[in-house]
Structure 1
Amino acid sequence: MTSPTAESIDKQNGEPAGDTIEVPSNEETSDPPKGRDRTFHTKIIIFVILSLVSLAHAFDATCICVALPTIASELDATVSESLGLATSFLLTTTIAQPVYSELSHAIGKKIGYLISVSIFLAGTIVCGVARSSLVLLVGRTIQGLGAAGPQALSAMILTDLFPIRQRALFLSLLNISWALGTVTGPILGGYFTQCENAGWRWIFWINVPLLSTSFMGAWLLLGYHKPQGRLNHRLRRIDWVGIILFGFSGVALLLPLSWGGSKYPWKSAKVISPVVLSAIGFIALAVYETFYAKHPMFRPSVFSNRSTCLQFVNITIHGVLMWMALYYMSVFYLGVKDYSPLKTGVWALPATLTVAPIAAFAGWLVAMIGTYHWYIYSGWALMILAFGLLKAVDENMSTGIVLFFTFVLGVGMGLLIPAMTFGVQATTSNEDSGHAIATVFVLRSAGQCLGVAVGLAVFSSRLQVELGKLGYNDDAAQHMMKSMRQSLRTGGPEDWAVIHAVVTALGVVWITGCAMASVAGVLTIAIKCPRLPEDDQGPPLVSQATRSLIQVDEERLSPPGNADIPLANLGTRCCHSRSHQPA
């Protein structure tokens, strides 16, 4: 006998019909209850498990900024190789995140998470034992491939566990664990670098217990089961064309930005050609995802709201400015103030340590009252002010004043981290929420990678000009960046001229940051910031009628000959018959 569909039940209850799926009877289902039915204590433990990898990820990305001159000197790395140690991790993380999001629907979130943490751990061990710059570069690349998984899947798992306001709070707390990694990274990186009994390799070994603990906890507690059906059928549903286009376009954009002005002239065909290819690749990606992809990696519906798209742009800019500030304030302390790596990490605290508590406080307030627009406006205003103030910094300025400027910068960055995430949540439907948050993490990582590359391009180009005025050849800038504390310091009167050249080059970096923050501030004016709905008023993950009886969407979810898939396994692929439409 043919059962009535969820669509007919929805109509009988006055509910709009939506995409439907079928759930087997209780007798046929042995899967655990849905994430939101778990005990609160279990949810907290799962959150801590996710936070450990977030902490390790941020630590790994930031500790290298103060250790890079020492590593480059010990391993005799060129400037491009030493830059690659920083950008390879961020680049592979950015490109691999959408891949994990797609693969999780074929192999399951739990398996995807465990595989990614294992790869992250393997790359960390390779870095710890590296004896050459090439091996270290390979290890950093493997690390990035592994770190991308938890970055993407953590947001999707939290979306499954919590309703929207609790989700916003815990996403903020996840951001805080990431911010704590940015605080401890420069300090411990500096300490290990100059400690005779440790060495820079300990910046990698310290992550091993964190990653191992997260792996074991996820293996024991994450309740996702492997999706039903044949693996080859599920793999065919992955947007492989979108993955290839995104990866190609990302690499083609970031590499020439790293090369321009340092390895090759900006007018060189080796710089211009990849940028043109990148633009073509991103246009092709947008066209393919919108009109041709059956199961798009980047859902067009996520980008259908103007405010959401503008938030995505600003999130990318925010990532650029955070990493630009972090890396090039380190250049100021190492190259201008001649501080040790440890002291450099300590003096970075006013910016890094401010981010976590400000983000926590702002996230808690937004979760309580539901409004967040003032945090976005205030955050960008402070970012513009801070970068403008940093332009006035020179070699003679009191370090206390510089610390105040970086404190202002840290407050602005902290306000924006949760506020823009809430903005994306509020302007996307529940159906697209998991994909939207995953996109936030992808764009933030892309911004971080761009921040290092763009900062280097601006800094090195200007530094070469300034050193040229002093009679140095073009290799002088490369030598300085390779060993910032020792290069071009002869003890003679020309030292101050060289230091002033570094300050001038950094000034161009700060002006660039101020201009980018100003663009984001202008874009904010056009963004609508609807209030977050109450958890008990928000749309259910699946409507009550759909819970009663659900029919399989053969096209999207089930393999041929196997239509019965437990609802607990569908994760964020569940479609909702009632979606919250953004204002």
Structure 2
Amino acid sequence: MIAIVEDLNATATQGFWVGTAYLLSTSVSMPFLASISDIFGRPVLLISSVALFSIGSIICATARSIATLLGGRSVQGIGGGGIIVLSLVIFTDIVPLRQRPKWYGGVIAQNTTWRWVFYIMFPFCGFGLVAIPSLLTLKPKVETLADKLARVDWIGSLIFMGSATSFLIAISWGGTQFSWSSAATIAPLVIGAAGLFGTALWERYGAKEPFLRHDLFYSPSAVAAYICSAIQGLVLFGQLYYVPFYFMSVLAYSPIHTGLALLPVMVTLVPGSIITGFLITRLNGYRWPIWVGWVVTTVGCGLTTIWDVDTHIAVWVITLIILGFGHGATLNAQNFASQAICADGEEGAAAAMYGFMRHFGTAFGVGIGGTTFQNVMALKLGWEGLSTEIAKNAEVFVSQLTAMPAGAEKTQILDCYVYGFKGVYRVYLGISGVAFFISLLIKHYDMNKELRTDHQLQDNNITKAVDKRLSSYRNSRMSTMANVKLNAVEENARETASGESSDSEASRTQVGSGTATPMSEPEPGAPRPAVIREEDEPSNST
């Protein structure tokens, strides 16, 4: 982020919007794209989303001004929102709920240019555009284009996207770009809140086919699960935004060093999520990982509040490991909790709502963090008799801070940065604690639900070829195993026959010679076995 701000001569506020523009457009687009995928089909919407993401990446990579970059990030966000939410929805279409849990750039910035962050996405986007039509062949619905367009909830979608954008913009720039008491903040905040309330009324009473499923919130457990999802997005992405900022400003780490410093949270978040997924599938329960995850996350948030100017490396490494495991546990569990709680056949809509709520919280997390950091840091700067303008351009000032010679002024400024970060981390700590208590409201629902969906995979040339190879492999394995078993049976039969033949030969030897076969000497005083001779055999005559 700092490299982008410096290269495009942007302000800290404009640099802040580089991340916020993507998060905002991602969050706003997700419910609408998930809804119309029921009408136009998953593959069409997924391909369109990848295409939009690719176009946005091209715009960002070639941007020569901050305005162009923000436009590209918005387009990229719409595509990213579609990719995220449709991936969740498609997964619910093809995998039963009980089995889902177990399946479920610093070097660039320093050594080349920040534009490579976007260049590197092109091969993956190209692969997706080629692979998706070939592999994702869901059975299409037979409808005319006019019928499909008529089914779209245009009124509700437009009201929602406009009001959500207005509301998130006000949250993002309130207290930073504009004061909370200014008309620039109050007006979009009120308009956005009123629009969201109007959307809820329209979806409940006016829409023939609502794109927001109000029945997903039919129980306190569902409401609690979605609120926890939003809070996790808020805390997780807020920390992923401000922890690197702390490393680069207070600890004066380079982009490479900062990326390496984040490895503890990255290498524990994914394994934590995978392990939790397997345990959820095996134990058919999702509440305990949610509770444990929030306790661990809250502990990690508490540890970030003790980070200082000279924090030892062991302290922040342990903190990030704890945060990684905590977020990893809740990430999977809350997703599948929402799918288990919903009615049969609504798992796709529940997954889409989970994704939306988490990203809606993400936009809040960065916005609330930015507001808290700037205001708390400005307060500390005022106490120290320093310019509060440093807080408004904190990211841009990092390069100047790094170049400053050691002295009293630099120490004071670093203390102000730390004070601002502690303010942000304390907010995240309090919110995490609230999330734990909310999660206690989530009840257990059986995950052994029948897979019900109108979007089912159909065979194509690739899947047929794969199935043929798998069938051939299975037949070969079965034939090999059958031959092994047959050989084992024949070998046992030969050994048995050989043993019986030896016993028979030994018996004949005993009878013919009139002597016993060599045997162990009986215990003294024990009766010896009788030896039957031919002349001693009883007569058959009566």
- TM-score bracket, normalised by the shorter chain, equals 0.7 to 0.9
* 2:342 pairs with 1:428: yes
Q: Equivalents in 2 of 1:431, 1:217: separation in Å?
A: 28
Provide the secondary structure at the position in 1 that maps to 2:393: helix
- Mapping of residues 94-105 of structure 1, within 5 Å: 94-105=27-38
* Residue in 2 that maps onto 1:134: 67
C-alpha deviation, 1:381, in angstroms: 0.6
What are the equivalent positions in structure 2 for 1:140-539 lying under 5 Å apart?
Answer: 140-170=73-103, 172=104, 189-195=105-111, 198-224=112-138, 226-487=140-401, 490-491=404-405, 492-533=407-448, 538-539=449-450
Counterpart of 2:414, as a letter, is I
Q: How far apart are residue 122 of structure 1 and its match? A: 1.1
Structure possessing the higher radius of gyration over alpha carbons: 2
Following superposition, the deviation at residue 418 of structure 1 comes to 0.7
Secondary structure of residue in 2 paired with 1:395: coil
- The answer to whether the 8 Å contact 2:139/2:457 transfers is yes
Q: Secondary structure at the match of 1:480?
A: coil
- Return the letter of the residue paired with 2:444: C
Rounded Cα–Cα distance in structure 2 between residues aligned with 1:167 and 1:118: 27
Q: Runs of 5+ in structure 1 lacking a partner?
A: 1-67, 173-188, 543-565, 571-583
Tell me if 1:84 matches 2:24.
no
- Which residue identity lines up with residue 272 of structure 1 in the other structure? I
Q: Deviations over 1:414-460 (max 9, x none)?
A: 10011111211211122211100011111111111211111101001
Q: What secondary structure sits across from 1:486 in the alignment?
A: helix
Deviation at 1:273, TM superposition (A): 2.1
Partner AA of 2:13 in structure 1:
S
Q: By how many angstroms is 1:369 displaced? A: 1.9
In the alignment, the residues of structure 1 paired with residue 96 and residue 301 of structure 2 have an alpha-carbon distance, to the nearest angstrom, of: 37
Structure 1 partner of 2:26: 93
Q: In the TM superposition, what is the alpha-carbon distance from 1:568 to its structure 2 partner? A: 5.1
**2:136 touches 2:457 (CA, 8 Å); kept in 1?**
no
The separation in 1 between residues aligned to 2:317 and 2:12, in whole angstroms, is 29
Whether 1:114 aligns to 2:47 is yes
Judge conservation of contact 1:73–1:483 (CA < 8 Å) in 2. Answer: no
**SS state of the match for residue 81, structure 2?**
helix
The residue that corresponds to 2:504 in the other structure is none
Shift of residue 265, structure 1, vs aligned partner: 1.4
Report the counterpart of residue 520 of structure 2 in structure 1.
none
AA partner of residue 220 (structure 2): R
Aligned residues: 457
1: CA distance, partners of 2:8 / 2:131: 36
Structure 1 residue ranges (4+ consecutive) displaced by more than 6 angstroms after TM superposition:
none
Match of 1:72 in 2: 5
Distance 2:97 2:302 in 1: 37
1:569 Cα shift?
9.1
Q: Percent identity?
A: 29
Q: CA contact under 8 A between 1:227 and 1:569: conserved in structure 2?
A: no
The DSSP-based 3-state class of the residue aligned with 1:301 is: helix
**Partners in 1 of 2:451 and 2:427 — Cα distance?**
45
Cα distance in 1 between the residues matched to 2:337 and 2:444: 6
AA partner of residue 523 (structure 1): I
Structure 1 position 294, deviation (Å): 1.1
Query: Residues 258 and 567 of structure 1: is their aligned pair in 2 closer, same or farther, counting only changes over 3 Å?
Result: closer
Gaps of 5+ in 2: 459-542
CA distance in 2, matches of 1:273, 1:133: 25
Q: For residue 261 of structure 1, report the CA deviation from its aligned partner.
A: 2.0
Query: Shift in Å at residue 347 of structure 1?
Result: 0.5
Moved more, 502-511 or 395-404: 395-404
Deviates more, 1:488-497 or 1:439-448: 488-497
CA distance in 2, matches of 1:399, 1:347: 9
TM-score computed with the length of structure 2 as normaliser: 0.81
Check whether the contact 1:308–1:428 (CA below 8 A) recurs between aligned residues.
yes
Distance 1:569 1:387, change over 3 A: closer
Which residue is equivalent to 1:562?
none
TM-score normalised to structure 1 length? 0.76
Which has the higher relative contact order, 1 or 2, with Cα contacts under 8 A spaced 6 or more apart?
Answer: 1
2:140–2:455 contact (8 Å) kept in structure 1? no
**Using a 3 Å threshold, how does the CA distance of structure 1 residues 332 and 167 change in structure 2: closer, same or farther?**
same
| Deviation digits for residues 545-582 of structure 1 (CA, Å, limit 9, x no counterpart) | xxxxxxxxxxxxxxxxxxxxx98599xxxxxxxxxxxx
3-state SS of paired residue (2:128): helix
SS at match of 1:414: helix
C-alpha separation in 1, matches of 2:40 and 2:447: 33
Range that drifts further, 260-269 or 458-467: 260-269
1:367 positional shift: 1.2
Counterpart of 2:45, as a letter, is G
Deviates more, 1:329-338 or 1:367-376: 367-376
**Map of 1:186 onto structure 2:** none
Q: String of CA shifts for 1:458-506, please: whole Å, max 9, x gaps.
A: 0011111111223333322123222423248632421011001111111
Q: 1:338, 1:485 within 8 Å by CA — same for their partners in 2?
A: no
CA contact (8 A) 2:95 2:451 kept: no
**8 Å Cα contact 1:480/1:488 also seen in 2:** no
Cα deviation per residue 1:245-293 (whole Å; 9 max; x = unaligned)?
2212221221122212221112222112222222212211111111221
| SS of match in other structure, 2:31 | helix
Quick one: distance in 1 between partners of 2:364 and 2:160? 15
Which amino acid is the alignment partner of residue 410 of structure 1? G
Letter in 2 for 1:522: F
Q: Distance in 2 between matches of 1:371 and 1:386?
A: 24
